[in-house]
Amino acid sequence: MSLARKKFDDFKKRTGAIADQELDEFWAELEPATIDGMIGEWKGGEFLTGHRMNGKLEQAGWFGKTFKSATDVQPLVCLDAEGNKFSNVKMGKGEASLWLEEFRGELTATMVYDGQPVHDHFKKIDDNAVLGIMNGKGVIDVQDGVGRYYYFFLERL
């Protein structure tokens, strides 16, 4: 097991809040994700940091993301009352696409929503997991004058 996978598993097991700084340090250790490496179906989860987005995706029945190609991405795959998956285009204001974007000085695979100014940047934990940072207008949580990102993860199905 790689050190990155061990740290990731440790973060997932935590029951209390995780400091943004810990996730920032973890992010800095990871290699950028590639567009080709993102193709597939992924189950998602979040890290509890106290960000105002914590719990909102779960309330909406968020399951994960599906990257069919760089130009065909379902960013908000949710489960209906019967447990069936569907792309929640209403909540996402459309779907999305994948691009290489610079974030924190590195080019990394980034999912760009079609209908809202939100970009999800990804770094590779291993071939089956990525760390994500949601960025953009309206999602940066400002607390005590400090901007905070929403941290989440995806695991390949």
For residue 77, name the pLDDT band (cuts at 50, 70, 90): very high
| Whether residue 145 has pLDDT greater than 80 | no
Please tell me the distance from the alpha carbon of residue 102 to that of residue 90, in angstroms, as a whole number. 28
User: Please, what's the largest Cα pairwise distance for the chain?
Assistant: 43
**Lowest-confidence region among 30-34, 36-40, 144-148:** 144-148
CATH topology of domain 3-156: Lipocalin (2.40.128)
Distances (CA, A) of 88 to 21, 70, 74, 79: 31, 19, 8, 9
Nearest alpha carbon to residue 121 among 42, 4, 34, 40 = 34
Q: What pLDDT sits at residue 146?
A: 80
Give the pLDDT of residue 144: 78
Among residues 22, 35, 5, 11, which one has the least CA distance to residue 148?
Answer: 22
CA-based angle 129:18:142, to the nearest 5? 105
Examine the pLDDT at 4 and tell me if it is beyond 90: yes
Query: Is 9's pLDDT higher than 80?
Result: yes
CA angle 96–97–98, rounded 5-degree value: 135
Question: Residue 142: pLDDT above 90?
Answer: no
Mean of all residue pLDDT scores within the chain: 96
pLDDT value of position 136:
93
* Stretch 40-61: mean pLDDT: 96
pLDDT at 20: 95
C-alpha to C-alpha distance for 123 and 13, rounded to whole angstroms? 20
What pLDDT is stored for residue 138 in this prediction? 86
Sequence-distant (6+) residues with CB within 8 A of 7 are 26, 29
Vertex 30: Cα angle to 28 and 35 (nearest 5): 120
Q: Given this model, what pLDDT does residue 59 score?
A: 96
Q: Which of 9-18, 100-109, 128-137, 138-147 has the lowest mean pLDDT?
A: 138-147
